[in-house]
Amino acid sequence: MTRPFKQRLRAKEPLVGCFVMAASPTIAEMCGYAGFDFVILDQEHGPADAETLENQIRAAEASGIAALVRVPWGSRWLIQRALDAGAEGIVVPHVTTAAEAEEIVRFSHYPGRGVRGLATTARAGRHGNVSVADHLPQSLQRTCVILQIEDAEALSEVSAIAGVDGVDSIFIGPADLSASLGHPGQPGHPEVAAAIEGVIRDTEAVGGPVVSSFIRDAEDARFWRENRGVQVLCLSTVAIFTTALRGLAQALVVPQETREEAQA
């Protein structure tokens, strides 16, 4: 990485990342060497513990990719743990009010901007090898706060949420949003599509945060970029591996009936 992820995000560069749900430093590292811009290490649906999370972040850094952490919810101690482990930012799911957004921003930054506990002995402070005088401004410039809009009740609050100072990106979650609107598994349903367009419109009207979203494949990426103007997109490594493995199995595994014919 030539520049911190937060700077690239705020500059509205086209960026593509991967959600890593498996508790695997190797997968995070593979994403970096493959050329992706960032990983989101998923602790909402993924099983990684605190020690594994640190190793995932190390692996991402070693391969030159930014590491963000999706915490299960906007808890102060979960945000603290992710940032102390060295994450460049946090992703918080199911944010529905500006008050929640303000609290998350405060939890993500040190006093002067927020209420994050100070411990330069953690990995983020290079285990005590960075001075407080250097660490505080570096952290302020580097730490990203990304909030997910994926609930029907959040739709009327998007402008207020996006307008909170310190929110770097509004991340649309099409899967949960479609379920919340009564159309589970149908992110292309007209009501869901209209809601997504509204989130993009309301966020852009505020003029601050960048819109980002989850995508399924390259065709989906083209649609989001060309039709919705969204440049920061994220794939699921589980979907990548499952699709590739299923394709290989269909191409290479000999069907049982063929095996039986060969044995006859």
Catalytic residues, by residue number, are 45
d(CA 191, CA 141): 38
DSSP 93: S
How many residues are given for the chain? 264
CB 123 within 8 A of CB 86: yes
The set of residues, in sequence order, having a beta carbon less than 8 Å from that of 74 and lying 6+ positions away, is 92, 95, 100, 103, 104, 107
Q: Which residue has the tokens 């990203």?
A: 144
Return the residue matching tokens 């995000």: 9
**DSSP 8-state code for residue 254:** P
